Structure 1
């Protein structure tokens, strides 16, 4: 291993992570977190760029400065009541860092500390992006991009401490890595009546069940089997009691895909199903479709660069060569839509991180924090 990060810096990062974990803030409300990050960056001599709070963007000038690399961490928490017995539980009722963003923030702070203290070894300029509102719309990434955060940036990288990947592995996909995430609301309008006389009604409950089945046929019959997508109806609202057929049924759900072509195909097929199946029963179907976060698609040149760095720094066995994409979503996708770069998973699955992301008992394995810091630093030091 060709590492530069000290044990003391890892401990420094863990201490900051635990403080942030105890003081979580929801998307768009991370003003105390903003102040905390800003104060520490200023203490390190890192310039604070003028971007809208609660995001924080720092800048470190490189010795060469002909290239600029951006590193990103998300800073928001989730509306989750944390459970567990650890000493650093959230002090905010109903809010918790149940996804690991506290770890991401601490990792980037520690990387900024090392790079600022060894500025003479840093050739490219470095932009440190501490981003608000990853967990909800409107996306904090999209807002920063509109403000120009990627202007003159040559490559952007992000790290996710990832529970589904085994501890000790670091992985990146060469191309699509995480799914696009869209939401939909489907309303079926029929004709209500007595439950004992269904022939006098146009039953939206039954029709809704047929629409759900039709939606599932998109993946199995409308898409190329080599393409990946998910259409999930997560909520159905209909009726008021056991013997009344309602006038209306409403369904809420999500559609996921790994390419824009697949995403558009799924949407088109959904429109046909929602219009056609209800009409065949004499009812009306209406869909409201909310375009959300696009797919995370890594730039292949930059993802190969990540692979090279991981193998060179940590060894061949650390690189997760067979890692597959996931349909979970990430608004890092917006950065990759505007700038070459890569999103990277640092595995932490195991006994210390046994619960999935967003679970009330989720926790990161702090033992992987030094590796994540090392990866960020090495991506900067080796960037050409």
Structure 2
């Protein structure tokens, strides 16, 4: 029996435990940068196993955990990453293992990421004598909230000596049994902003004596769309969304101040730079046109997620040449609009980010960040076998 067959056999025997771990974590979600009990659970998982691994906890005081599996033989170092934070969402799934923490939910699948990774790491450690080099397992906090947990882990030195990094995300709207990859840019960069427009309040009957912040804010919202339609190459991707316009007041009172919050996405750093600069120009134009003051708090965070072409091709070929019982196809995916802080690892080290279909059966499939989000738990074993295949072929003697 080949090493990969041994790995698959061991993982299949542990599938039930993988699902149990996922359900426990789903019941006990924690928000970004506050995942203290989840981090403790992960550390305790490794302490309870008599494995020759090194666990470094509380990386940079942000709950990050690195598990090092050293074969004791020279070779490359491959890092594999799973995130474990949840979202500020009230769960509405009616699952028997639904969240017990009010207003907090694993609505993105990070509970599944952690469950498969724990069992996979345990199993790889048991087989390390048949490998070369090292595996670093990154249990990463705070993927959902800027500046992102990857930043702290990188500052703490997690990438020292690492040759490549691989990550997987389960996808609730992608068919079970399909695995997706893509070379180059695959997920968007993100910026966000908060704009306070300060005018002069007054009575609704006397607009000439006031300076209406709502009118100025409305003009700002309209002008923003010209940034995308007239400043960005039509073949490049850019999106600007105003998610909040706080102008609530009385029907007959002219507002002296409004607060807007917006989201910016792009599929290239060049496009993001243009959008960022143009939004600031629009603010100056609104100030000049309406005599208001624009107080702009603008933050640029997650970069474009770039899959290294050579490493991505290597991973895809490994998967295409591996018999995976539950996998029907390995396919190229179109770019995926949301942002992902795995991009910080990919900025520093050639990396690849892969997607595993996790669509539920016999009920509606809801998107990520939805109160009724759920994943097909059969995808956990697929994730483990996919990542395990990459690790084994990467580090095999």
TM-score using structure 2 length: 0.91
Establish whether residue 364 from structure 1 lines up as the match of residue 387 from structure 2.
no
The alpha-carbon deviation at position 12 of structure 1 amounts to 2.0
Counterpart among 350, 360, 383 of residue 340 in structure 1: 350
The alpha-carbon distance between structure 1 residues 108 and 133, as it changes in their structure 2 partners (threshold 3 A), is same
Establish whether residue 60 from structure 1 lines up as the match of residue 69 from structure 2.
yes
Runs of at least 5 residues in structure 1 that lack an aligned partner in the other structure? none
Residue of structure 1 equivalent to 2:40: 35
The alpha-carbon deviation at position 14 of structure 1 amounts to 1.0
My pick for the range that moved more, 4-13 or 297-306, is: 4-13
The alpha-carbon distance between structure 1 residues 237 and 148, as it changes in their structure 2 partners (threshold 3 A), is same
My pick for the range that moved more, 279-288 or 239-248, is: 279-288
Instruction: Look up the SS of the partner of 2:90 in the other structure.
Output: coil
The alpha-carbon distance between structure 1 residues 253 and 87, as it changes in their structure 2 partners (threshold 3 A), is same
The alpha-carbon deviation at position 111 of structure 1 amounts to 1.2
Establish whether residue 208 from structure 1 lines up as the match of residue 217 from structure 2.
yes
Rounded to whole Å, the distance in 2 between the matches of 1:124 and 1:33 is: 29
Rounded to whole Å, the distance in 1 between the matches of 2:82 and 2:364 is: 20
Residue of structure 1 equivalent to 2:288: 279
Counterpart among 234, 237, 249 of residue 243 in structure 2: 234
The alpha-carbon deviation at position 123 of structure 1 amounts to 1.9
Establish whether residue 13 from structure 1 lines up as the match of residue 18 from structure 2.
yes
The alpha-carbon deviation at position 308 of structure 1 amounts to 1.1
Contact 2:66–2:136 (8 Å) recurs in 1:
yes
Contact 2:195–2:261 (8 Å) recurs in 1:
yes
Rounded to whole Å, the distance in 1 between the matches of 2:197 and 2:33 is: 34
Residue of structure 1 equivalent to 2:29: 24
Deviations 1:320-373 (A, max 9, x none): 22x111221111111111111111111112436711112122111101111100
Establish whether residue 288 from structure 1 lines up as the match of residue 297 from structure 2.
yes
1:114-129 matched pairs, under 5 angstroms:
114-129=123-138
Contact 1:353–1:362 (8 Å) recurs in 2:
no
Residue of structure 1 equivalent to 2:182: 173
Residue of structure 2 equivalent to 1:355: 366
Runs of at least 5 residues in structure 2 that lack an aligned partner in the other structure? none
Rounded to whole Å, the distance in 1 between the matches of 2:214 and 2:317 is: 55
Rounded to whole Å, the distance in 1 between the matches of 2:270 and 2:338 is: 18
TM-score using structure 1 length: 0.94
The alpha-carbon deviation at position 155 of structure 1 amounts to 0.3
My pick for the range that moved more, 3-12 or 334-343, is: 3-12
Contact 1:62–1:123 (8 Å) recurs in 2:
yes
Instruction: Look up the SS of the partner of 2:205 in the other structure.
Output: coil
Deviations 1:67-121 (A, max 9, x none): 1000111111122222233221222222221111110001111111221121122
Residue of structure 1 equivalent to 2:97: 88
Rounded to whole Å, the distance in 2 between the matches of 1:48 and 1:333 is: 24
Contact 1:275–1:286 (8 Å) recurs in 2:
no
RMSD: 1.9
1:178-193 matched pairs, under 5 angstroms:
178-193=187-202
Contact 2:57–2:64 (8 Å) recurs in 1:
no
1:194-273 matched pairs, under 5 angstroms:
194-273=203-282
Contact 1:279–1:285 (8 Å) recurs in 2:
no
My pick for the range that moved more, 104-113 or 239-248, is: 239-248
The alpha-carbon distance between structure 1 residues 273 and 362, as it changes in their structure 2 partners (threshold 3 A), is same
Instruction: Look up the SS of the partner of 2:273 in the other structure.
Output: helix
The alpha-carbon distance between structure 1 residues 189 and 68, as it changes in their structure 2 partners (threshold 3 A), is same
The alpha-carbon deviation at position 158 of structure 1 amounts to 0.9
The alpha-carbon distance between structure 1 residues 44 and 140, as it changes in their structure 2 partners (threshold 3 A), is farther
The alpha-carbon distance between structure 1 residues 224 and 200, as it changes in their structure 2 partners (threshold 3 A), is same
Counterpart among 298, 312, 321 of residue 312 in structure 1: 321
Rounded to whole Å, the distance in 2 between the matches of 1:110 and 1:165 is: 23
Rounded to whole Å, the distance in 1 between the matches of 2:248 and 2:126 is: 64
Contact 1:239–1:245 (8 Å) recurs in 2:
no
Contact 1:172–1:343 (8 Å) recurs in 2:
yes
